Amino acid sequence: MSETLPLSKPPFGKSSGLLVRQENPFNGGPDPRLLPGSSLTPNELFFVRNHGGIPEVDLGAFRLRVNGLVKRPLSLTLEEIRQLPRVTVAATLQCAGNRRLELMAVAPIPNELPWGTEAISTAEWTGVQLRDLLAAAEPRRRARHAAFTGLDEAERHGHRFNFGGSIPLEKAMGPEVLLAYEMNGEPLPPVHGAPLRVVVPGYIGARSVKWVSRIDLQEDPSDNYFQAKAYRLFPAGVGADTVDWDTGLMLGESPVNSVICAPGEGETLAAGPVAVRGWAMVGGGREVARVELSLDGGRTWTLASLDSGGDRWTWRQWDATFDLPAGRHEIVCRAWDSAAQTQPEHPAQVWNFKGYANNAWHRLSVTCA
């Protein structure tokens, strides 16, 4: 937690419970110990991952344009978008860099945000289904990807450009993919992409482009820096000096993951029954099948209780209680998904020089007195 900045009051209507990782652009996430027992994260605690400043949007002049491999290009006002059928989807968003700090402990990862476990949150998103818009635009047969461009500007390697990314058209046609204008029943806050953002449940957060103003159907993935070069998973042997940016795995669906939220790392507790709780998550519409906890480094495991969940696109909250004697204890967790996949043991086994997609077993130590 030492990497958080000493902001007394976070901006943008955010709670002081936010762990701020960067002031400009603003990046932070909720202190895991403050997450409510319920599935939804209040807007003032929802994590923020920005690559640039928050654009000022002239709502009257705003148009969403749908172009590229479509037969009927669209240019829609916010009013026109709101007249389309309104849909609400509960979905967890997670930054691909969540849990990077554990990778940084294996080997340095310069120039990336040192996320702990807090770059993840869940909301009910309300808006229109992207597939409704695309159907109106009539995709051409060659279209394979939907590329999104935001109004925010990022700066990389001396260039300023709009943030963007893409998803396969097959995913874009899923009923869960929204252009959202409300978040947890409130108007979408500016820091989360108002007036309109993409929400791509089950994919890394970077594909849920905020302040979206352009959608292009095309044969190939977006050539935006944040799709074509960043947010790729490279083998462990590749570094900044040797990387061929066109070769890494373009991140999409999130792998199965789980984290202990409470107690916190290093806490001192009274010996006796200790409640442990956290979340588990998997992308792609798969289900979290179970969460296991170990007090002996993974030799034996105990099942945690999963909440009823039931929303296909959200994390599952879990809890377990252990009777801990006095002394130091390491608690380890791992999850399994419905495809019989589980998490790798060590962060070193998934280390990559950009620090993405860490889903190693989560560990923390407590002392009982």
Chain contacts with its own copies (rule: CB under 8 A): 233, 235-237, 249, 251-256, 283-284, 286, 289-290, 292, 298, 300-303, 336, 338-346, 349-350, 356-357, 359
| Phi-psi category of residue 211: left, alpha or beta, with phi > 0 → left and psi -120 to 50 → alpha | left
Nearest 5 degrees, angle CA 247-CA 249-CA 255?
165
Interstrand relation of 362-368 and 268-269 (parallel, antiparallel or unpaired): parallel
Count Cα neighbours of 26 within 13 Å in the Cβ-side half-sphere: 19
Nearest to its own copies of 218, 343 (CB atom): 343
Return the structure tokens found at 52: 């640039």
Work out how close the CB of 284 gets to its own copies at its nearest, in angstroms, rounded to a whole number: 6
Q: Residue 270 contacts by C-beta under 8 Å, 6 or more apart in sequence?
A: 368, 369
Report the C-alpha gap between 121 and 32 in whole angstroms.
10
Angle in degrees, CA 365, 5, 280, rounded to 5: 45
Tell me the closest approach of the beta carbon of residue 253 to its own copies, in angstroms: 4
CA-to-CA separations, 332 to 118, 123, 252, 368, in angstroms, rounded: 17, 27, 27, 16
Give me the least distance between CB of 266 and its own copies, in Å please. 27
Question: Could you tell me the smallest distance in angstroms from the CB atom of residue 10 to its own copies?
Answer: 30
- For the bound state, the minimum distance from the C-beta of residue 95 to its own copies, rounded and expressed in Å, comes to 13
Nearer to its own copies, 66 or 333 (CB): 333
Q: Pick between residue 125 and residue 231 the one whose CB is nearest to its own copies.
A: 231
Least Å from the CB of residue 84 to its own copies: 25
Rounded to a whole number of angstroms, the minimum distance from the CB of residue 105 to its own copies is 17
DSSP labels for 277-323? EEEEE-STT--EEEEEEESSTTSS-EEPEEP----TTS-EEEEEEEE
Nearer to its own copies, 127 or 252 (CB): 252
Tokens linked to 128: 């229109």
Residue 146 or 196 with smaller CB distance to its own copies: 146
Q: Between 118 and 292, whose beta carbon lies closer to its own copies?
A: 292
Give min distance, CB of 292 to its own copies, in A.
7
Looking at the Cβ atoms of 51 and 354, the one nearer to its own copies is: 354
Beta-strand ranges (E) seen in 157-286 are 159-168, 178-183, 186-187, 197-199, 212-218, 232-233, 249-250, 257-262, 268-269, 272-281
Q: Which of 118, 99, 126 is nearest to 45 (CA)?
A: 118
Beta carbon nearer to its own copies, 77 or 338: 338
User: Running DSSP on this structure, what letter comes out for residue 256?
Assistant: P
Residue 95: what residue type?
C
Instruction: Tell me how far, at minimum, the Cβ of 365 lies from its own copies, in Å.
Output: 21
| Cβ within 8 Å of residue 141, ≥6 positions away | none
Joined together, the tokens standing for residue 268 give 């001192």
Q: Residue 68 or residue 252: which is nearer to its own copies going by CB?
A: 252
CB of 235 to its own copies, least distance (A): 6
CB closer to its own copies, 211 vs 234 = 234
Cβ atoms 189, 211 nearer than 8 A? no
